Structure 1
Amino acid sequence: MSEQFETVFAQYDTDGDGQLTVDEVTAAIAGMFPAAEVNDLSGLVGALFAEYDTDRNGLLSVAEFVPLAENLPELGAG
């Protein structure tokens, strides 16, 4: 697992619990697109969780985040 992605994951994991919530992922994506309204991102974030939340617990672990970051380089750039 890439150390770069783990570092970026830690930046997005604002409560430090080792999991990314929908709100944390929404905030991360909103940071990529500052002009976007957070409400407009709910569909995108939902689709990302549907694809990458492989254990379907409503959270993204580091292992689930890495493929997402690899497929969405802007997110992995932190």
Structure 2
Amino acid sequence: MSDQYEAVFARYDTDGDGRLTVEEVTAAIAGMFPAAEVNDLSGIVRALFAEYDTDNDGLLTATEFVPLAENLPELGSEN
């Protein structure tokens, strides 16, 4: 994983367990759209997990996160 994605993944992995939960991804997406209500993001987050959680464990590993960040540049940026 590139240093850029590793740093971004670590920023979103607030508990440091090496996996992103639905709550952590929701917070990341909410940070991209500060005016959005978290409840309004649930469908987006479900769709992201449906596509990128390839082992269907309800968590995103760093390996699963990279394609998501590549397809959603705002999520992969460090700004």
TM-score, L = length of structure 1: 0.98
What are the ranges of 5 or more consecutive residues in structure 2 without an aligned counterpart? none
Percent of aligned pairs sharing the same letter: 81
Give, in whole Å, the separation in 2 of the partners of 1:56 and 1:3.
26
Q: What secondary structure is seen at the aligned counterpart in 1 of 2:55?
A: coil
SS of the residue corresponding to residue 70 of structure 2 reads helix
Structure 2 length normalisation: TM-score? 0.97
Question: Partner of 1:55 in structure 2?
Answer: 55
**Moved beyond 2 Å, runs of 4+:** none
- Residue 42 of structure 1 deviates from its aligned partner by 0.2
CA-based RMSD of the aligned residues comes to: 0.5
Q: Which runs of 5+ in 1 are unaligned?
A: none
Relative to its length, the structure with more strand (as a share) is 2
* C-alpha distance after superposition, 1:18-39 (max 9, x if no partner): 0000000000000000000000
